[in-house]
Structure 1
Amino acid sequence: MPLPRPRDPGRPGPDGPGRPRLWHACAVSTETISAEEFASHRPRVFGLAYRMLGSAQEAEDTVQDAYLRWRGARRADIERPAAWLAKTVTHLCLNRLTSARARREEYVGTWLPEPVITSGGALGPLESAEQRDAVSMALLVVLERLTPTERAVYVLREAFAYGHREIAGVLDTSEANSRQLYRRAARAVAAGRTRFEPEPRPHRELVEAFLAAARDGDVAGLEKLLAADVTWWGDGGGKVTAARRPVLGREKVVRFLVGGMRTFGAAMDFSYAEVNGAPAVLARVEGTLVGTASFELSGDGAVIGVRAVVNPDKLAYAERQVAPV
């Protein structure tokens, strides 16, 4: 069923002190809708879709769908483009999430979000710990536990600083319901959040030490870096070799890592990158990206989680990001 053209949600009222507006409303009087105008909103639109879907490629498709609706709309129906696009993209994502849930229930092995290299600003500014956390692999996994509507409310509130009046306009619901949905989402997210949000510099140093120890097969070095209850998640989608289930505990993770490096490490080139706002490792074979690994740290600086994506379908967007121009 096609999505009806969204109504402008209206100019928001204040919803608490100190919450910055990231989507600025602006009245437009021209009669035509230009591609250039849409392009100016595209980074935020893509960032919203990615946070909603956990898939860069589906986010791109959603942005394209929104653009087609944008081109087909009358200028008189779009008083404030940013608000119109936020509503359009949110509803397109809600439609996609319904079918995505069924697909992910049949997914082979562990499902992880598609990695995005964020050092170039692909998901917008990530200057604060809160902004980095909003696109982290760990948080995106937790967001999968929410209902589609809870996820929409949480993303709009936390990542884009929407007030509940704005959210109610986007979702065609009441402010009271928006608040209730947010409370439920926030409780679920808090229950699954990482125990520690590291600063980039020590995190990077730890990732580089981890990579050096793995390359050298340094079991003792790896054991020093890993928490006793560390977990390794691997997403191969049934298309390449990967752990079908999480690998639990320091001893098993070290054994898994050393064995994998002996089997595949010699053929791979490793490099450091920022993936989803956090330091990570990229693995290439003959120049082709074959995997990413993102790290999660505990309060004492030990690795408590590693999320490795090796499904080639999920690496397509990141591969385009790192491909030479």
Structure 2
Amino acid sequence: MATIKDVARLAGVSPSTASRAMHNSSLISESTKKKVRAAMAELDYSPNFAAQNLANKSSNTIGVILPANEDSVGDNPFFIQIIQGLAAICNAHDYMVSVASGQNNQELIKNIETMIKRGNISRFVFVYSKANDPVLHYVKAQKQVQVVIIGTPYEDKDEMLYVDNDNQKAGYDAAGYLFEKGCKNILYVYTDLDENVQNDRFLGYKKAVKAHKGQTFALSLAFNNEVQRDKAIKDYFKAYPEIDAIIACDDILALQVRYSCESACLDDSIALMGFNNSALGRVMHPTLTSVEIFPRFLGSEAAALAINADDDKLKLDSNYVIVPHKVVERESTK
């Protein structure tokens, strides 16, 4: 296996110069960098990042923090798409991705502590935003740690780096689309309004309802139990039979709502739409109208912020990036 000394010898430079060239140091000329890169390619050399991290007490790794509760995360393709976007940018800049997860906040914090102390990881991307999040509070309290949030921060919004959609506008557009289709009584279903994304979409929905002089209908479906979810849907429609459309806070919940509506023998003409435009929606029957929020772009923009945040040559015009959205119409609202 080739070493950095082998690369330096083939390129005709010292090992220290080869190392600087690999790290794209401004002290090294472009011609020397080309020689080093050519030698690396010829020898099929890959830098030993772990050894470099230990020596430099730093890391070329981005820590990606998933929300606690591994089961719900594993069932949601949204997070996989975000990580794919993150990885694409990290790969292009010779960064690695390390994922932290946990069944609860305590376990998650313990895993992050290990990443910071043993892995020397100092850059983290949270793929969620939640009110009063002890995990975020822990990471922000660490010295020389950079944080990027996917979602709008609840605290220090003007200082934190973050990437998000305009979720209030997305919620408004979703409800507005249904009103334009002729729906009059639209129900918004959610699982946790402490999550900024769900709450912002709800606020946008309420603004659209007000603009169309309608009535707000909202139902929490924070149940892991299918029987409880079915009963909640059945009871709600019994109390409000005038509901003719449903907006779910994401596609997974929309799929669960569809099953619950069928279980309750509700009219299959009720319009249904979700968010995230996931593969689940494309294989449902009927196929699901959904708001595309481009999660890969969310991930790639977050990675770019995390990598470039401390680059003195980069002048950030803003501490945030807003990724656009669009309504993708399918059979569930026709």
- Would you say same fold, with TM above 0.5? no
Question: TM-score w.r.t. structure 2 length?
Answer: 0.25
| Higher RCO (CA-CA < 8 Å; seq separation 6+) | 1
* Structure index of larger Rg: 2
